[in-house]
Structure 1
Amino acid sequence: MEPYKPIISFNLGRLVIDIKPEAVIQLVIILFVGILAWYATKDLKSKPQGKKQVIVEYLYNLINNVVDSNMGKEYRDVVPFIGTLAIFILIMNLTGLVGIAAPTKNFSVTIALSLIVFVFIQAYTIRKKGIKSYFGGYAKPMAVMLPINILERVMLPISLALRLFGNILAATVLVELVYQGLSSLAWIAEIGLPIPLHAYFDIFDGAIQMVIFVMLTMINTKITVEH
């Protein structure tokens, strides 16, 4: 598996900036989700009318119930962030179905997502509990726990990034190896035989990795706030 080559490279002082396909794919996904969200939420009625609003309300209630069951009703204000995160990661994991390598097989993508989650958790905790209580939480249940608590907070984004990156990369490599093996037999073998692999590694595994990432985000948010 060869790494993507930069589409465009330019210098910012001594720093070399590479624009790789993963960045373009993410921008396309963001644009797609934005247009879809605008279309899905325009002209909403107080009483559902038509299949579009029924589907939108079903998805919202699904995410709302997931947050309620894992964090509690007092955390419903995180629903927009959790919902956006889940949809964005799921679509990135499913790009293999259209012949595009998942951006999440690149560690720079997963670490960026994890850092966004890390910043969100810290900012949300400060807004929820206040900055004094936030920093005081590092010394609980006793002051000697301060280094361990700091290390625990710092390791969260690394753990999230490595878990998502490792699983998606492994799935991508396995699918590519199967395609290489089938191509050595006959080109027609590549048409139908890989379908079960895509069903598992792209759809099932992609959805599972999204669920794990989102669940760990919710759990760590709740733990940090209540620490």
Structure 2
Amino acid sequence: MGTEGFGPRIVELPFGIQVTETVTVTWWIMAGIILLAWLGARNLQMVPGKRQIVVETIVKMINNLTKQTMGEKNMKFAPYIGTLMIFLAVANLAGLLGLRPPTADINTTLALALITFLMIHAFGIRSKGVGKYLKGFFEPFFLLFPINLLGEVATPISLSFRLFGNIVGGLIIMSLLYGALGGFTSALINLNIPLLAVGVPAVFHIYFDLFSGLLQSFIFTMLTMVYVSMAMD
């Protein structure tokens, strides 16, 4: 297992198979979400218990957010929007468990942004028709076609790099902080045990992992809904 800078480590699997740390953490996150979804949806009752109330509250919040942002006619997007938001939230919070967030890898954020990009154009064409949709690239007049086209191409780039930059930036800052606190401990009290790294980084984790992580997952999801609904209008 090796490390290059702040990039994801390469994990060696049996039979010489190599995967990145991003892939393995993503597998664990997917397995955890699937397990929780299965546990939350089993044995549903007409009179809900505490577990069912929590699940129904989450589903209702996702449905309301989708309805307010995309309109009632686009409620079919709620399952995807909910899945995207939950995955991003858990992935961004992985740092609290000592794991490398999958969203600190540009491959993850770019893949999600490309899904949004494909949804924008696929549902835009489906809603307006090919002719009317392509006509929008030449509005308000045909000389703006290059700018409109460039704006569409820039969408997945801006989406992916916004999320990636915020998450990997926090990861780098926390890594430098832990290294500095370990060095201070050795210099001040001549111990190789990083005592100062216990408790001190908690405030920074609250911002970079908890606050920023949840905020970025919300922003990415909201932009996805806005872009898709605008393409269909």
Q: What TM-score, normalized by structure 2, do the two folds share?
A: 0.86
Length, aligned pairs only: 218
Give the structure 1 partner of residue 24 of structure 2.
Answer: 24
Give the structure 2 partner of residue 58 of structure 1.
Answer: 57
Give the structure 1 partner of residue 229 of structure 2.
Answer: 222
* Structure 1 residue 197 corresponds to structure 2 residue 204: yes
- SS in structure 1 at match of 2:198: helix
The one-letter code of the counterpart of 2:26 is Q
1: distance between equivalents of 2:141 and 2:59? 40
Does structure 2 retain, via aligned residues, the 8 Å contact 1:164–1:209? yes
The one-letter code of the counterpart of 1:224 is A
4+ runs deviating over 4 angstroms: none
The one-letter code of the counterpart of 1:223 is M
The one-letter code of the counterpart of 1:193 is V
Q: Which runs of 5+ in 1 are unaligned?
A: 10-16
* Structure 1 residue 167 corresponds to structure 2 residue 135: no
Superposition map of 1:10-159 within 5 A: 19-45=19-45, 47-159=46-158
Q: What TM-score, normalized by structure 1, do the two folds share?
A: 0.88
Root-mean-square deviation (CA, aligned residues, Å) is 1.9
1: distance between equivalents of 2:8 and 2:81? 29
The one-letter code of the counterpart of 1:84 is T
1:43-100, Cα deviation, whole Å (9 max, x unpaired):
223x341011111111111111112222221221111111111011111100001111
- SS in structure 2 at match of 1:7: strand
- Cα pair distance change 1:129/1:44, threshold 3 Å: farther
Q: Which runs of 5+ in 2 are unaligned?
A: 186-193
The one-letter code of the counterpart of 1:31 is A
1: distance between equivalents of 2:18 and 2:137? 38
Pick the structure with greater CA Rg: 2
Shift of 1:147: 2.5
Give the structure 2 partner of residue 14 of structure 1.
Answer: none
Counterpart of 2:8 (choices 4, 18, 21) is 4
The one-letter code of the counterpart of 2:159 is L
2: distance between equivalents of 1:19 and 1:145? 44
Comparing 142-151 with 168-177, which one deviates more in the overlay? 142-151
- SS in structure 2 at match of 1:43: coil
2: distance between equivalents of 1:106 and 1:148? 29
Counterpart of 1:209 (choices 195, 211, 216) is 216
